[in-house]
Amino acid sequence: MRQRLEEALRAANADYTEIRVEQVDSSWVHFKGRELDSVGSAKTSGGIVRALVRGGWGYAAFNDLDGLDNRVRQACESARLVGGVEQSRLAEVSPVVDRVSVALDEDFRHVPLSEKKTVIEEYNEIILGYHDKIETSHVAYSDRFRKVWFANSEGTFIEDERPDASLVLSATARDGDNVQQGFETVAGKAGFVIARGHHQKARAAARRAVDLLSAPPVAGGKYTVVINPKLAGVFAHEAFGHLSESDFLYENDRMKEIMVLGKRLGSDKLSIVDDGSIDGLRGTQKYDDEGVPTRKNELIKDGILVGRLHSRETAAKMGEHPTGNARAVGYRYEPIVRMTNTYIDSGDTPFEDMIRDIDLGLYALDMVGGQTAMEMFTFSAAYGYMIRNGEIAELVRDVVLTGNVFETMMHIDLVGDTLVFPPAGGGCGKGGQSPLPVGLGGPHVRILDVVVGGR
Residues that bind Zn ion (CB under 5 A): 428
Q: Put residue 24 in one of left, alpha, beta given phi > 0 → left and psi -120 to 50 → alpha.
A: beta
Residue 80 burial by Cβ neighbours in a 10 Å radius (0-12, 13-18, 19+): middle
Give the closest residue to 307 by CA, choosing from 251, 241, 406: 241
Which residue, 414 or 428, is less far from Zn ion as judged by CB?
428
- Least separation, in Å, of the C-beta of 410 and Zn ion? 23
Which residue, 70 or 252, is less far from Zn ion as judged by CB?
252
- Least separation, in Å, of the C-beta of 359 and Zn ion? 36
- Least separation, in Å, of the C-beta of 242 and Zn ion? 6
Q: Which helix (H) or strand (E) holds 378?
A: strand 376-380
Rounded distance between C-alpha atoms, residue 428 and residue 282, angstroms? 11
- Least separation, in Å, of the C-beta of 340 and Zn ion? 11
- Least separation, in Å, of the C-beta of 188 and Zn ion? 18
Residue 308 burial by Cβ neighbours in a 10 Å radius (0-12, 13-18, 19+): buried
Alpha-carbon separation of residue 417 from 269, 304, 440 (angstroms) = 11, 20, 17
Query: Are 395 and 215 in contact, with CB atoms under 8 Å apart?
Result: yes
The C-alpha angle 254, 256, 260, rounded to 5 degrees, equals 130
Which residue, 33 or 431, is less far from Zn ion as judged by CB?
431
- Least separation, in Å, of the C-beta of 47 and Zn ion? 25
Beta bridge partners of 32: 35, 138
Which residue, 242 or 446, is less far from Zn ion as judged by CB?
242
Give the residue at shortest CB distance from Zn ion: 428
Which residue, 55 or 330, is less far from Zn ion as judged by CB?
330
Which residue, 205 or 428, is less far from Zn ion as judged by CB?
428
